[in-house]
Amino acid sequence: MSDTHAETVRYVATHELPALPAPVNTRGPAAWARANFFSTPRDTILSIIVGGLIAIGLWKLLPWLVFDSVFVAGSLNECREIDSGACFAVVTSRFNQLIFGFYPPELFWRPILAFVLMLVAFAPVLHDNLPRKMLWFSAVFPLLAYWLIWGGTIWGPLMIIAMIALAFVAFKAVAKSVNPVVGLLAAVAVGILWMLFLHDPIVSALSSAVNVGLEPVESSKLGGFQITFIIGVTGIVASLPIGILLALGRGSDMPTLKMICVGFIEFIRGVPLITLLFVASTLLNYFLPPGTNFDIVLRVIIMVTLFASAYMAEVIRGGLAALPKGQYEAADALGLNYWQATRLIILPQALKISIPGIVNTFIGLFKDTVLVSIIGILDPIGIMQPIRSSAEWNGIIWELPIFVGLVFFIFCFLMSRYSMYFERKLDTGHRN
pLDDT value at position 414?
Answer: 93
Whether the per-residue pLDDT at 284 is higher than 80: the answer is no
Question: pLDDT band for position 184 (50/70/90)?
Answer: confident
Separation CA 428–CA 88 (nearest Å): 47
Please check whether residues 417 and 323 belong to one and the same domain: yes
| Domain tally, the chain | 3
Out of 160, 190, 214, a domain closes at 214
Whether the per-residue pLDDT at 3 is higher than 80: the answer is no
Residues 366-422 have pLDDT tens digits of 999 999 988 888 899 999 988 988 888 988 889 999 999 999 999 999 999 998 888
Q: Which has the higher per-residue pLDDT, 294 or 240?
A: 240
Lowest mean pLDDT among 21-25, 28-32, 89-93: 21-25
> Do residues 178 and 187 touch, judged by C-beta distance below 8 A?
no
Mean pLDDT taken over the chain: 87
Name every residue whose Cβ is closer than 8 Å to that of residue 178 and which is 6 or more positions away in sequence.
Answer: none
Please check whether residues 259 and 187 belong to one and the same domain: no
Q: Where do the H-state alpha helices sit in 38-133?
A: 41-62, 76-82, 89-93, 95-100, 109-126
Instruction: Answer whether residue 302 is part of any domain.
Output: yes
Please check whether residues 204 and 237 belong to one and the same domain: no
Out of 161, 194, 214, a domain closes at 214
Q: Where do the H-state alpha helices sit in 323-382?
A: 325-333, 338-341, 347-353, 355-368
Instruction: Answer whether residue 62 is part of any domain.
Output: yes
Query: At how many degrees (to 10) do helices 109-126 and 134-150 cross?
Result: 160
pTM comes to 0.84
Please check whether residues 182 and 226 belong to one and the same domain: no
Separation CA 3–CA 157 (nearest Å): 92
Residues 29-80 have pLDDT tens digits of 878 888 888 888 898 999 999 999 999 999 989 988 888 889 998 889 999 8
Please check whether residues 360 and 232 belong to one and the same domain: yes
Instruction: Answer whether residue 310 is part of any domain.
Output: yes
Amino acid at 198: L
Out of 214, 234, 252, a domain closes at 214
SS3 content of the chain, % helix, strand, coil (to 5): 75, 0, 25
Please check whether residues 79 and 181 belong to one and the same domain: no
Torsion of CA 241, 244, 245, 250, to 10 degrees: 160
Instruction: Answer whether residue 173 is part of any domain.
Output: yes
Please check whether residues 181 and 210 belong to one and the same domain: yes
C-alpha 293, offset from chain centre = 28
Name the residue range of residue 205's domain.
Answer: 152-214
Name every residue whose Cβ is closer than 8 Å to that of residue 305 and which is 6 or more positions away in sequence.
Answer: 234, 235, 238, 239, 242
Instruction: Answer whether residue 76 is part of any domain.
Output: yes
**φ/ψ (deg, to 5) at 214:** -115, 165
Lowest mean pLDDT among 139-143, 277-281, 290-294, 359-363: 290-294
Please check whether residues 57 and 188 belong to one and the same domain: no
Please check whether residues 198 and 312 belong to one and the same domain: no
The CATH code of the domain that includes 293 is 1.10.3720.10
